[in-house]
């Protein structure tokens, strides 16, 4: 059965972006590699700090809309309820990308 993800991403300035997808790894990759123009590309939003899973697409879309309607403080509380250190939950998902980033910092 298909799964849907509601997720929150951030950047070094703690800008928040909430989205929904049926393929979390692909969508996070798109954010990290800036392959889709828009808000996350413009603000360099590349760190996955929260996600939840559902099997119902309508529930996922409703939850995304609900979270987007919240004040920032409530979104921060949601993130910190499961990820108090704001770690990038996608660390280790893309070893080739990590190698490229390391080479660009050292090169």
Which pLDDT does position 44 carry in this prediction? 95
The secondary structure of 29-55, three-state, reads HHHHHCCCCCHHHHCCCCEEEEEEEEC
Whether the predicted pLDDT of 102 surpasses 70 = no
Q: What does the DSSP 8-state code read for residue 70?
A: S
- Of residues 107 and 91, more confidence is placed in 91
Q: Indicate the pLDDT class of residue 105, thresholds 50, 70 and 90.
A: low
Q: For 4-106, give the CATH class.
A: alpha beta
Q: What is the pTM of this model?
A: 0.89
pLDDT digits (tens, 9 = 90+) for 30-68: 999 999 899 999 999 999 999 999 999 999 999 999 999
pLDDT at 95: 84
Helix residue spans in the chain (DSSP H)? 24-33, 39-42, 57-68, 72-82, 95-106
In 3D space, the residue among 21, 16, 8 whose CA is nearest the CA of residue 49 turns out to be 8
């Amino acid at each position: 059965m298909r799964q849907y993800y509601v997720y929150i991403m951030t950047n070094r300035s703690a800008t928040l972006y909430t989205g929904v997808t049926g393929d979390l790894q692909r969508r996070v990759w798109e954010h990290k590699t800036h392959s889709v123009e828009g808000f996350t590309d413009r603000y360099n939003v590349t760190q996955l700090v929260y996600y939840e899973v559902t099997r119902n697409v309508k529930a996922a879309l409703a939850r995304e809309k609900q979270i987007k309607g919240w004040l920032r403080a409530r979104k921060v509380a949601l993130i910190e309820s499961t990820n108090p250190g704001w770690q990038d939950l996608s660390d280790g998902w893309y070893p080739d990308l990590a190698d490229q980033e390391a080479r660009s910092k050292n090169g």
